[in-house]
Structure 1
C-alpha cells in the first residue's frame, strides 16, 4: 500500500527535454565509451564529499510532498556526516560551471538500517537537501519503478555516470552512458556467484564484458523505459568485479525491494 504514495505523481517524472542518443550506437559504454547528450538524463546528480570533485552518482526522485530528494548508494555516505556533502544538479561537464548548474547542501541522509558494508546488501541511501531543488530542463526527477526487476529481464536499460573510463583510470569530465541488458537472477548467480543476493540485488551487463560502470559511478541510476514511455529507476549502481570484465556483470541495488522503506523515510521531504 505504501508504495502507491510515491507514485501518485508518476506523470511528473522520467521525461526529458533534451532527447538522448538514438539507441543503440556500437560499442557504447561508460568504460571507454559514449558521451551522453548534454542534460538528456536530468535526474543524474554529482555527489561530492568534502573537496573531492566526484565521489558518487545519485538520482533525483519526487517525494510524496512533490519535492525532490536524492537516492544513492549506502556505501557512498556510510560513516560520514551530512555537512561533508554537496550535491551538484544540472551538470554535464564537471569542469565547466554550466548556466543551469546548482549546488545544494545536504540536510540529512539516511542509510538503510540493514546495509552491510561487507556484503553490500541493502546498498541504498536517501539524501534530503537543505533547500528545495529548482526543477527545470536540466534538473528533473526519474520515476521509481512500480514493477519487480523480473519485468525488465532481457530489456536494454541505461547506466549513466562520470566514473572512470578504464579500470584504474581517472573519472570522466563529461557524463557518459551505456545501454546494457538486465539479466535474470539465475544468470546473475551463475556469473557473479554466492555474493549475489536476489533479496536486495539485481544485475545487468554483457557477459563478454567491455561495457559497464566503473569507480565513481556508484550510487548512480540504472534506468529502464516503462510502458508509458517514461524512464524508471530500477537499479542503483552498487558493485562488481573490476570494471566491465568478461563474465562479470555489474550488480545493482534492486529499487523495487525498497519502495516501502523509501516512502517511510521521505514523508518529511
Structure 2
C-alpha cells in the first residue's frame, strides 16, 4: 500500500509539472539575467537540492575558471576524459584567453591539481550568435598530463552505438559547484544530485525549438526542485551503464531560466558527447572508444587527502520519495571564490559588455586574478591547429583573443 501511495504521489507530481508548462523557451545558462546583484554576486552555480560530494566520489569532475582579456571570470564545469583532455561547452570557452582547471576537486580551495592552459578547441559548427547551440561542445588541452590517483580519474564517453540512445526513465547523476537554487548562495564544495532522464518526445513538448537529436533532457528524480542551475554548464551528466561503469552521456548547456526557476521541475538540456566522437578523435588523435590508460599500474595512492574516500560511484541509496525540497545548509563563502560577472537575459547581448561592468570589483578583490592580469599583458601563446579546425586567432592590443 505504501509503495502504491508513493508511486501515485510521484506520478501526480509529474502530471502537475507537465500540465503547468506546455512549451517553455530554454535559456543558455550564461545568458540568464541576474535581477538582484546584491543577492547574487557571481555567475557560478551549484546543484539544486543536492548533497555534498565526498573525496573521490566524482574523480572525473573538473572545475573551470575561464578568464577573458579584461579579467572577467566565468565558472563552468568539465569532465576529465583522458590525462590531457577535458570536455566542456563552447560557450564556456568562447572569448576567453586563459583557463584555470582544477582536478581532483571537492573543495575549490584544496584541489588535487590546478592547471593554467590557453589551448582549447570549440566545435567548428558552433554559432555564437544563436541562442541555443546544437554544437555547443569544446575540448580543453591540459599543459601537462594528469597522474591518476584515487581522486583523479577519467570518465568513459558515451559510445557511438549509444549516441542516440533513449534514456527515458533512467537514473542519472549531475555534479557541480555553485547555487542551491535560482537566486541562492554558492559554495566552494562540489555537490551532486540524482535526476531522471526523459524521452526525446517529452523534452520536445517542453522545448519546441531545441534540436533534440543532439540533446539528452533530464529533470528531478523524486524532489521537484532537483536540478542543475547557473554555472553548472559544461559539467557532466552521468549514467551508470549495465556493466557498472559510469559513462558521460551529456554536457550541461541549457536550463529553464529564471522565469520558471532552476527548481521548477522543468528539464535541463545536455549535449550528447557520443555524437562528437569523430571530432574528438580528429582534434586529440585519441580513439576514446578504445582508450587504454589509467590501468592499475598508473593509479597512484594519494596521501595528502583524507583517508578512505568513497567509491567512484555515488551512493546507490534511493532518496526518499517526497515532493518538498530537502533542507540544505548554507555553506561558507571563501575568499578563493571572488565575485564573477553578472549575466544578461538577452542572448544577443555581448558577454564582453557584461564583464566590463564587473571587472573592476573582481580584480580589486582577488590578488590571484590581479597577478594573472599582469601576466596577460604579453601575448598568450595559443597552440591551436588553425587551418585544420577552422579556428581564427584574433590578435588584440596586447593579448590573443580567439573565436571559432
Q: Is 2:80 aligned against 1:60?
A: yes
| Paired residues of 1:162 and 1:174 also in contact (CA < 8 A) | yes
Normalising by structure 1, we get a TM-score of: 0.79
Aligned counterpart for 2:116 among listed residues 80, 98, 105:
105
Aligned counterpart for 1:163 among listed residues 161, 175, 178:
178
Q: CA deviation at 1:157?
A: 0.5
Q: CA deviation at 1:245?
A: 4.0
| Paired residues of 2:197 and 2:218 also in contact (CA < 8 A) | yes
Q: CA deviation at 1:255?
A: 1.2
Query: How far apart are the structure 1 equivalents of 2:208 and 2:165?
Result: 19
Q: Is 2:106 aligned against 1:92?
A: yes
- Secondary structure at 2:63's aligned position in 1? strand
* Higher Rg: 2
Query: How far apart are the structure 1 equivalents of 2:264 and 2:172?
Result: 19
Partner of 1:115: 126
Q: CA deviation at 1:163?
A: 2.5
Higher strand share: 1
Partner of 1:6: none
| Paired residues of 1:199 and 1:257 also in contact (CA < 8 A) | no
Partner of 1:37: 54
Query: How far apart are the structure 1 equivalents of 2:201 and 2:137?
Result: 23
| Paired residues of 1:150 and 1:184 also in contact (CA < 8 A) | no
Query: How far apart are the structure 1 equivalents of 2:149 and 2:244?
Result: 19
Partner of 1:235: 250
Q: CA deviation at 1:129?
A: 1.0
- Secondary structure at 2:226's aligned position in 1? coil
Partner of 1:14: none
Aligned counterpart for 2:227 among listed residues 179, 196, 212:
212
Q: Which runs of 5+ in 1 are unaligned?
A: 1-28
Q: CA deviation at 1:69?
A: 0.7
Higher helix share: 2
Q: Is 2:264 aligned against 1:246?
A: yes
Q: What does 1:127-206 align with in structure 2 at a 5 Å threshold? A: 127-146=140-159, 147-194=162-209, 196-206=210-220
- Secondary structure at 2:212's aligned position in 1? coil
1:204-247 CA-to-partner distances (Å, cap 9, x unmatched) read 11398411001121100000011211100000010111243435
Aligned counterpart for 2:237 among listed residues 199, 222, 225:
222
| Paired residues of 2:226 and 2:265 also in contact (CA < 8 A) | no
Over the residues paired in the alignment, what is the CA RMSD in angstroms? 2.2
Partner of 2:274: 256
Q: CA deviation at 1:182?
A: 1.1
Query: How far apart are the structure 1 equivalents of 2:266 and 2:206?
Result: 6
Partner of 1:70: 86
Aligned counterpart for 1:80 among listed residues 88, 96, 117:
96
Q: CA deviation at 1:192?
A: 2.1
Query: How far apart are the structure 2 equivalents of 1:131 and 1:153?
Result: 39
1:134-184 CA-to-partner distances (Å, cap 9, x unmatched) read 211111000011113424222101000003111123322211111111111
Q: Which runs of 4+ in 1 moved over 6 A?
A: 51-54
Aligned residues: 231
